[in-house]
A and B are shown apart, each in its own frame.
Chain A
Amino acid sequence: MIENGTFKPVIVGFLCNWCSYRAADLAGTSRMGYPSTLRDIRIMCTGRLDPTFVLRALQKGADGVLIMGCHPGQCHYQAGNYKAIRRFALLKRTLRQLGLEEERVQLHWASAAEGVQFAETVARMTEQIKALGPLDWSHNWPNEDPYAVEEATE
């Protein structure tokens, strides 16, 4: 998003209800400031994260997507975050093939007590994406489609 002539990243966050959403709450109650780049969506567990959600956020204009869950071994539902790790790996592979930079889509952990770590993660990611510039996927990507087939002529 361009704000007053400068680029301000829009990052869509997917936070699990039990750890990372509460870490974000804690960052709030403890008044730990971080850039207003993150727009977060609560899901019950990172295991609920359908990779489609990430693609949709990018398609709708997000410059980055941040997924956060409980630390491995600490998932409220035992192992949802392990499922998330595997799906994330596959998703990243696809995104890499589509030419998306590594930093655009990230997966991190924060326990309910880690407000500081939460705030730092958002701040760090914001800087990384600022350095990359806007993604604007919905407009850029289709035109430069490397796999585009020549239009069939009758």
Chain B
Amino acid sequence: MSEPRVGVYVCHCGHNIASAVDVEHVAEWAYKLPFVTIARDNKFMCASTGQEQIEQDVKEHDLTHVVVASCSPHMHEKTFRNACARCGMNPYLFEMANIREHASWVHPNDRDGATNKAKALVSAAVHRVIHHQPLEPMQVNIRPETLVVGGGIAGIQAALEIADAGHHVYMVEREPSIGGHMAMFDKTFPTLDCSACILTPKMFDVGSHPHITLLTYSEVEQVDGYVGNFSVRVRKKARRVDEDLCTGCGSCWEKCPIKVLDTVFEAGLGYRKAIYRPFPQAVPKYPVIDTENCTYYKTGKCRMCEKVCQTNAIRFDAEDEILNIEVGNIVLATGYKLFDCRRIPQYGYGRLENVFTSLEFERLTNAAGPTDGKVVLRDGETVPETVAIIHCVGSRDKHYNSHCSAICCMSSLKFAHLVKEKTGAKVYNFYIDMRPISKGYEEFYHRLLHEGTTFIRGKVSEITDAAHSPEEEGKLVVICEDTLVGKQRRVPVDMVLLAAGLEPRADSSEVGHLFGVSCGDTGFFIERHPKLDPVATMTEGVFIAGACQGAKDIPDSVAQGAAAAARILSTISKGQVILEPIRASIDESRCSGCRICNNMCPYNAIDFVEDLAVSRVNPALCKGCGTCVAACPSQIITGAHFTFDQLMAEIDGIMVDVTADDPFAVEAV
């Protein structure tokens, strides 16, 4: 084989790299590295001129390998691989050195240090790249079916877009009905349109769509496979009501004698029965039996629902079903959970009767809620005359959540409007900063200013029922420093609403792990790129949408649901996807058949071939982690693109300036 001819390109990235790394020097120095035929610096390698430079050099100088020293491979590895492929080179004969995120940006005041590190990283890449082998990416067919996990507004949007395009969707929802949080609301900001009126038709469409299999009261238990070909195991919890027979008539829950506090849909303000449908517009319309509270499961008696059911749909002995489904792509739209206001004891939630959370208030004002939409105190009848709404509860506070929950300003304004409209009460909004940022939001704020709501800027320190004066007697006193006036205030009110923040689901880390998605420091799922790829994740074929990705309102959740659907539809219409050829393979002629690797593999991708007494990797199942490669005592498992030789060469390269017996040190060209 002829000698390798390596081209090295060191990027300035405008000033991003050049401000801390002596880019020209690195390029000049790189020219002296073994097998380097050409070394250049360039203002912007990712720009078309930079890429064209590579293409031109490959042709003119017959380059066999290319190294680009610029940003993180997570940013532009694909870009440069494509540039190499365009001029007929195998894209895997390329290697990247990350001298921006890992050098210039972290050593801004250490020019020598940053430059030296850049040289080490470039040298590592050059030493490594000459051991690269041409690899052929694996093409796999994409199954056209999609799994959507979570039936809130984000999941609903994604499911409908895909199903409307004619492709099958499985929607898995944990609760007995889809709808998510939006189904709990009466009005939605900023337009104040009726939540049910805009949501119910979409829920109905999901329930009746010929291309959607709706699996409510279900959960995903296991996910195997890879983009295009996931195998998913779903547990469909027993509803104990036969869906083929039930008409949703309601006689069972009307007659059921057991009342249960509904902490999910009614936020603890209302009751449901032991056999129940969470709300009238629920999709599907069938009830479920809550076996924890049903008398039959405790004493073996009652069976009232069974007696009144005219279609004989009750199935006390029904069992969970396990379904195995095959899908090509997955959308996670698992939403959020509300901050637990008990965590701020000085706000008195749970101790002071008339302190409510925002979701409780949503149920109070909902015409279909426990008070038929009447805004009243916890006694169920007294109409409040003064109401305080506290913003940012549990958000923007390093003790709880440092993030801004994005919707609380607007929902607090919505509450102020609804309280005024329904009760005529005097309303105080206590805010830290007013952040009505989206379309129509600022206008809504101004509308509230004109409606006579009193806005007090300051963080509430305490809510107490300890009166200091006759007018505070029997009231809740909101204590806060009014930062605009610069003095302490005590505002006596009848009712307090806490605009609690949005938090990741309590199980987001386990759910994320199941699907190969990680959580950020706030606990929400991390997207592939915060700006350029907000709905994709690091796991190909798994997308995120809605509030599980970060606190957001309905319009943004819908936009993400649609965006995830668009991404999936584009892969479905292509029919195929290209997988990284990073796979393990076993040299069977040298395999001793010790089987150590067999149990190492987390994907059971290594089989033992009995007649030959050797182990063999199934490339479709292998994900390329390399655990078996490191384990093989005979070192005969090759991890493509992370081979022993490549990594050893990379280590040698990275130490080139340190190693005393460096074979290349003197061999300067």
Contact = CB atoms under 8 A, between A and B. Distances in A.
B106 A31 contact: yes
Contacts of B108: 31, 33
A83 B599 CA distance: 11
B520 A36 contact: no
B404 to A, nearest CB: 17
A80 B627 contact: yes
Contacts of A36: 103, 106-107, 110, 113-114, 116-117
A66 interface: no
Interface stretch (A56-64, A92-100, A101-109): A56-64
Interface band, chain A = 35 or more
B202 interface: no
A68 interface: no
Contact of B630 (A35, A49, A74): A49
A24 B626 contact: no
A10 B518 contact: no
Contacts of A139: 660
B655 A12 contact: yes
With a 10 A CB-CB cut-off, give which of A35, A45, A51 has the most chain B CB atoms: A45
Nearest to B119: A39
A40 B102 contact: yes
A138 B519 contact: no
A41 B653 CA distance: 11
Interface in A65-116: 70, 73-74, 76-80, 83, 87, 111-114
With a 10 A CB-CB cut-off, give which of B73, B74, B655 has the most chain A CB atoms: B655
A19 interface: yes
B106 A32 contact: yes
Interface in B598-648: 600, 602-603, 623-627, 629-631, 639, 642, 644, 647-648
Interface in B509-533: 509, 513, 516, 518-521, 526
B332 to A, nearest CB: 16
A52 B648 CA distance: 9
A21 B73 CA distance: 10
Contacts of A124: none
Contacts of B408: none
Interface band, chain B = 35 or more
A129 interface: no
Nearest to B107: A36
Given A44-B582, A49-B630, A25 B101 contact: yes
A85 to B, nearest CB: 12
Contacts, number: 162
B647 A41 contact: yes
Contact of B659 (A47, A51, A60, A87): A60
A13 B538 CA distance: 22
A44 to B, nearest CB: 5
A28 B647 contact: no
A56 B105 CA distance: 28
A37 B587 CA distance: 38
B112 interface: yes
Contact of A45 (B626, B658, B659): B626
B18 interface: no
Contact of A44 (B526, B600, B625, B644): B625
A132 B640 CA distance: 38
A39 B117 contact: yes
B661 interface: yes
Contact of A18 (B105, B114, B518, B659): B518
Contacts of A113: 518-521, 526
Contacts of A35: 107, 110, 113
With a 10 A CB-CB cut-off, give which of A36, A51, A70, A78 has the most chain B CB atoms: A36
Contacts of B648: 52-53, 56
Given A43-B642, A48-B630, A60 B652 contact: yes
A71 B129 CA distance: 30
B513 A73 contact: yes
Interface in B90-135: 98, 100-103, 105-110, 112-114, 116-117, 120-121, 124
B650 A45 contact: no
A27 interface: yes
B63 interface: no
B647 A112 contact: no
Given A47-B625, A48-B630, A27 B106 contact: yes
Nearest to B117: A36
A29 interface: yes
A28 B626 contact: no
A22 B518 CA distance: 11
A83 B600 CA distance: 8
Interface string B53-83: 0000000000000000000111000000000
A47 B627 contact: yes
Contact of B658 (A50, A62, A78, A114): A62
A119 interface: yes
Given A1-B658, A36-B107, A77-B602, A44 B518 contact: no
Contacts of B630: 47-51, 83, 87
Contacts of B113: 8, 35-36
B105 A28 contact: yes
Contacts of A57: 651, 655
Given A25-B74, A42-B73, A50-B629, A76 B101 contact: no
A44 B626 contact: yes
B654 interface: yes
A3 B116 CA distance: 11
Given A25-B102, A36-B106, A87-B630, 15 more contacts: A12-B651, A24-B101, A25-B74, A33-B106, A41-B650, A44-B582, A44-B624, A48-B642, A50-B630, A56-B648, A57-B651, A77-B627, A78-B602, A83-B630, A113-B521
18 contacts: A19-B518, A24-B101, A25-B74, A28-B105, A35-B107, A35-B110, A36-B110, A39-B124, A47-B625, A47-B626, A48-B630, A50-B629, A57-B655, A76-B539, A80-B602, A80-B627, A112-B526, A113-B526
